[in-house]
Structure 1
């Protein structure tokens, strides 16, 4: 197995001290990088493990924080923070850009080759980075087919892949249709995968996820969605092995 090193990174955003999880692949060369956004509950070991799995594949990966180092396990607390956030594109962009700046500043990162992948609220933030014209090679979202302010999707400069459960009550067919209409009107290279029978947060194991109506883990589709994310990165952000070279 490829040797991966990790470290905790603190940085300011949204009036808080965020605590991200940086995972680095073996070697000393610059590598393509992935900004990884968590669900509304916040950064957990699920996203930390995903960042490390991406590092094993040769990417620099930063799983970013939403809540100043806290995991909001109570749904009421999460909604009280995330609903205003999701209604404020500028706040979402601020959180996303702060993490993106940390990732770009990492010496192992090739700043010209960065993708953003996010789940739920983290996915909405990835999309807002695109709508803000961030220099990204790909955007991937799961459970986040959110729409933005009129006309701003035209600033997206990379392919967009989205995955959603067919039975997700938070991202129902009308929301999916609005998202795809926005992407199509903006001329974005977009794809949408609908996972049959899956609920909201179908990708997230239930070990630290509260039981909420409309939310549920689907092991098979979780594996498929991960493969789809990996395929997106392989297409848009291929890793070139240059181990041993200086940055």
Structure 2
């Protein structure tokens, strides 16, 4: 197994001091890099483990923070912060750019080979970076079929992969159709995978705090979605030793 170096990194964003998780692969050379965004509750052990797993594959990874070092385990607290955020593309972009600047400042990062992947709110931020014209190699989003200002979607310059559960009440069929229409109209290289029988946050192992209705873990589809994300990275941003 490749040795991974991990450290906390602090940076300002959204009026807060964000505390991200940086994972570095073995070696001293520059590597392709991944900006990894968490679900609405914020950066937790699941996202840190995913960052470490990608670093083992040879990527520099920053799992970024949403809430100034807090994990919002109460659904009402999470919604109170995330719903206004999701309704404000410029604010999402500022949070994304702050994290991206931190990732690109890492000496091990190849600034010309950066991808954004994310879940829920973190995935929406990745999409907004693409709509803002950021030079990314790939965008992958799970449970974040957010639509934006259609005239800006054509600024996405990389392949977009999206995954969602067929039974997700938070991202229902109408949302899938709106997302698909926006990507098609903009001429984006896009893919949408609908995982049959899966609910919202199907990728996330069970948690020990209350969750919103319509959320449920699907281990088989969680493994499939992770494989789809890593396949996208390998296609668009291969690691060369």
Which of the five TM-score ranges fits, normalised by the shorter chain?
A: over 0.9
Q: Deviations over 1:38-85 (max 9, x none)?
A: 000000000000000000000000000000000000000000000000
User: Which runs of structure 2 are paired with 1:79-90 in the superposition (5 Å)?
Assistant: 79-90=79-90
Native 8 Å contact 2:119 2:143 kept in 1: yes
SS at match of 1:129: helix
Runs of 5+ consecutive residues of structure 1 not aligned to the other structure: 242-247
Residue 226 of structure 1 is matched in structure 2 by 226
Counterpart-to-counterpart distance in 1, 2:207 and 2:93: 30
User: Which runs of structure 2 are paired with 1:58-69 in the superposition (5 Å)?
Assistant: 58-69=58-69
Residue 4 of structure 1 is matched in structure 2 by 4
Counterpart-to-counterpart distance in 1, 2:63 and 2:111: 17
Residue 93 of structure 1 is matched in structure 2 by 93
**Superposition deviation, residue 213 in structure 1:** 1.3
User: Which runs of structure 2 are paired with 1:1-247 in the superposition (5 Å)?
Assistant: 1-208=1-208, 210-241=210-241
SS at match of 1:207: coil
TM-score norm. by structure 1 comes to 0.97
SS at match of 1:33: strand
Counterpart-to-counterpart distance in 2, 1:60 and 1:24: 5
Q: Deviations over 1:170-229 (max 9, x none)?
A: 100000000011001000000000000000000001134534310011110000000000
Counterpart-to-counterpart distance in 1, 2:73 and 2:211: 10
Counterpart-to-counterpart distance in 2, 1:55 and 1:150: 34
Counterpart-to-counterpart distance in 2, 1:184 and 1:150: 10
Runs of 5+ consecutive residues of structure 2 not aligned to the other structure: none
Counterpart-to-counterpart distance in 2, 1:211 and 1:91: 25
Residue 245 of structure 1 is matched in structure 2 by none
Runs (4+) of structure 1 moved beyond 6 Å?
none
Q: 1:194 to 1:209 in 2, by over 3 A?
A: farther
Q: Which has the higher contact order (CA 8 A, sep 6+)?
A: 1
Native 8 Å contact 2:75 2:211 kept in 1: no
TM-score norm. by structure 2 comes to 0.99
Counterpart-to-counterpart distance in 1, 2:25 and 2:205: 25
CA RMSD of aligned residues (A): 0.7
